[in-house]
Chain A
């Protein structure tokens, strides 16, 4: 077994520290923008950090050990996927681990006897059903273009990935909207006042376990934005800008649309996003022949 070089480990450690800071700041920005769009002033930028620290200091009430174990798993797997991205490793493995992270959250929701938690977990499963095909097909389209699943091969391309995979980019943005629970896809739980079914999959979490679920969200957000940045990795600031603009567009969409049903979400994902990526792959195949 070849060992991982020291500077890569350092990079991963740095990313694991910086990612929650980025995720928290983006969430704070999201809350301010949302408030401004509603004609309010909104909370301070650091509000998500206050919330997180407070939650870590509260009494954690959980129904059983299983639920706690699954929340630990949820956080650990999301962190692993970030590590894989920073190491510029296998994108296929990354998407699958990200999927497993969501499965852990679903199982945490099913681990307790609460109808609200059950509803949320079932809906989170539907998010998974809509999201995973997009992410997996993105990885395959990526392979068709670069000839490898390694994230490092996007850096070696002469023309950015976006030129070859514009429709796959759009598909990935839809997946980002689902994973970050933006309207109209916020079916499993929501950060807004117009919440439904109490708090969905996070209903039965409290104290530090709720904080860990929130932290995992921030890691997930940075991983997905990192995937979008891969579409234009050289120079990196263009990619980061692309990711930020995509996220901003999603915040606008979030405030401009209402929550729709999970059936609508699954239908849209499979008919629009998945077929867009497949179309992109067919086009690429014909052009490259």
Chain B
């Protein structure tokens, strides 16, 4: 592994976007930053800025309102970048799938690399999903189908 590849894997900065979730998954993402899970051990830092981020972590289903914002955020992120959909809602629409304003999973709007299931997704599953995604950062935007934690 080259130095750059190593650095990419060791320093993922993430941008968290709530597409319209019930806040259950958001709290689990924040739990990853607390002393119990402390993802900064792996160099993972929560960034409030798409231009600094490597990973886009999305919670909640895509709806007509948030789709525009989600697309915009994705476009503003410099390559290489990956998208992690966290929770049943982000994966497929979840409990909201039949709502008239809901489009479905976030993959209706942006290309998703990793699907993390769960309602709400557990912090362990979220960390697992992010670590799985790190391997793809080195493909420099190359995609070979999406994966879920535990099945790669």
Counting chain B CB atoms within 10 Å of each CB, which of A58, A60, A198, A199 scores highest? A58
Q: A40-B35, A61-B78 are known contacts. Are A50 and B43 too (CB-CB below 8 A)?
A: yes
Q: Hey, what's the 0/1 contact readout for A24-57 against B, CB within 8 Å counting as 1?
A: 0000000100010011111110010111111011
Q: A7 at the A/B interface (Cβ < 8 Å)?
A: no
- Check B78 against A50 for contact (C-beta < 8 Å): no
Q: Is A205 among interface residues, defined by CB-CB distance under 8 A? A: yes
Interface of A is mostly: loop
Task: Output the nearest chain B residue to A57 by Cβ-Cβ distance.
Answer: B4
Residue B80 is within 8 A (CB to CB) of chain A in the complex: yes
Asked whether A206 is an interface residue with its Cβ less than 8 Å from the other chain, the reply is yes
Is A193 interfacial (CB-CB < 8 Å)? yes
A35-B38 contact in complex given A59-B78, A61-B78, C-beta closer than 8 Å? yes
User: Which residues of chain B are within 8 angstroms of A204 by Cβ–Cβ distance?
Assistant: 51
Residue in chain B with minimal CB distance to A47: B43
Could you tell me if B43 and A199 are in contact, using CB atoms closer than 8 angstroms?
A: no
- In the complex, what distance in Å separates the CA atom of A202 from the CA atom of B48? 12
Closest residue of chain B to A207 (Cβ to Cβ) is: B78
Q: How far is the CB of B43 from chain A (nearest CB, A)?
A: 5
The minimal Cβ–Cβ distance linking B151 to chain A, given in whole angstroms, is 27
Question: Shortest CB–CB separation between residue A255 and chain B, in angstroms?
Answer: 14
CB distance from B26 to the nearest CB of A (A): 15
Structural contact, B49 and A39, CB atoms closer than 8 A: no
B1-57 contacts to A, CB under 8 A, are 3-4, 6-8, 10-11, 13, 33, 35, 38, 40-43, 45-49, 51-52, 54
With known contacts A54-B4, A206-B78, A61–B51 Cβ distance under 8 A:
yes
- Given A35-B40, A42-B40, A58-B79, the answer on whether A53 and B7 have CB atoms closer than 8 Å is yes
CA distance A49 to B11 in the complex (A): 9
Q: How far is the CA of A52 from the CA of B10 in the complex (A)?
A: 11
Q: Is the CB of A58 within 8 A of B43?
A: no
Additional pairs, 17, CB under 8 Å, beyond known A43-B43, A58-B54? A31-B40, A38-B35, A39-B35, A40-B35, A42-B38, A43-B42, A44-B43, A51-B7, A51-B43, A53-B3, A53-B11, A54-B8, A59-B78, A59-B80, A61-B51, A195-B48, A198-B49
A to B CB contacts below 8 Å, 30 in the list: A38-B35, A41-B38, A41-B40, A42-B40, A43-B40, A47-B10, A47-B43, A49-B7, A50-B6, A50-B10, A51-B7, A51-B11, A53-B3, A53-B7, A54-B54, A56-B4, A57-B4, A58-B54, A58-B79, A193-B33, A193-B46, A199-B47, A199-B49, A199-B52, A203-B49, A203-B51, A205-B51, A206-B52, A206-B78, A210-B51
Interface positions of B (Cβ within 8 A of A): 3-4, 6-8, 10-11, 13, 33, 35, 38, 40-43, 45-49, 51-52, 54, 76, 78-80
